[in-house]
Chain A
Amino acid sequence: GAVVSQHPSWVICKSGTSVKIECRSLDFQATTMFWYRQFPKQSLMLMATSNEGSKATYEQGVEKDKFLINHASLTLSTLTVTSAHPEDSSFYICSARMNLQETQYFGPGTRLLVL
């Protein structure tokens, strides 16, 4: 149990386009979902926290207009990278947590390459 999926697993796009990444909790209800980005050989950096039905809370330095997060249901959150640029190329990982639980369950990640 406690499986989180992400789609797509990888995406290549041209500079200036927008990319949407989906994060789904397959067998549990995720009241909270987290979005991280990870550069090669570095740790995960939290971008934002989203609770179902409310606006996401962004970490300092993360542009909320550039990284749009929607958590419309208890099993789905989306991250849209708007007007992507090469510096947005990274590994994006989501995680989901059940209500009042401490453990996060991570998706397999989405690798984004912006040309």
Chain B
Amino acid sequence: SQQGEEDPQALSIQEGENATMNCSYKTSINNLQWYRQNSGRGLVHLILIRSNEREKHSGRLRVTLDTSKKSSSLLITASRAADTASYFCATPNTGGFKTIFGAGTRLFVKA
């Protein structure tokens, strides 16, 4: 079964607005990763945050991790039409050998 759940399932915003996606997971982890998938394509790794980190930035992306609540958020600032994609959080399973994906958030940025 999937480790993580994300909300919202879908998000539609105007270009220039910020987009926030949330991810919750069930078991203890040592890292959490976010990926982007354009329609019908493979996944692109965005950012990895470790369990001892609370926040991490990469360009217009900001990821937070709250291990006490077993949740993470991905914020995309000043969104662009090109940010339209599905975004997935991913966590290692117990033992850390496999990566389990959340259900994903479909983001649509209107120009």
* Residues of chain A having any CB pair with chain B under 8 Å: 4, 6, 32, 34, 36, 41-46, 49, 91, 93, 95, 102-109, 111
Inter-subunit contact A104/B99 (CB<8 Å) = yes
Docked pose: A2 CA to B41 CA in angstroms: 17
- Which of A32, A44, A104, A111 is B45 in contact with, Cβ under 8 Å? A104
Among candidates A49, A95, A109, residue contacting B40 with C-beta atoms closer than 8 Å = A109
How far does the Cβ of A31 sit from chain B's closest Cβ, in whole Å?
11
Give A43 Cβ to nearest chain B Cβ, in Å: 5
Cβ-based interface call for B81 (8 A): no
Chain A: interface secondary structure?
Answer: strand
CB distance from A35 to the nearest CB of B (A): 11
Across the interface, name the chain A residue whose C-beta is closest to B104: A43
Is B31 interfacial (CB-CB < 8 Å)? yes
Contact A106 B43 (CB under 8 A): yes
Q: Provide a sorted-by-A list of 19 A–B residue pairs whose CB atoms are within 8 angstroms.
A: A32-B97, A34-B98, A43-B101, A43-B104, A44-B101, A45-B2, A46-B98, A46-B101, A49-B98, A93-B43, A95-B43, A95-B99, A102-B31, A103-B33, A104-B99, A106-B42, A106-B43, A106-B45, A109-B41
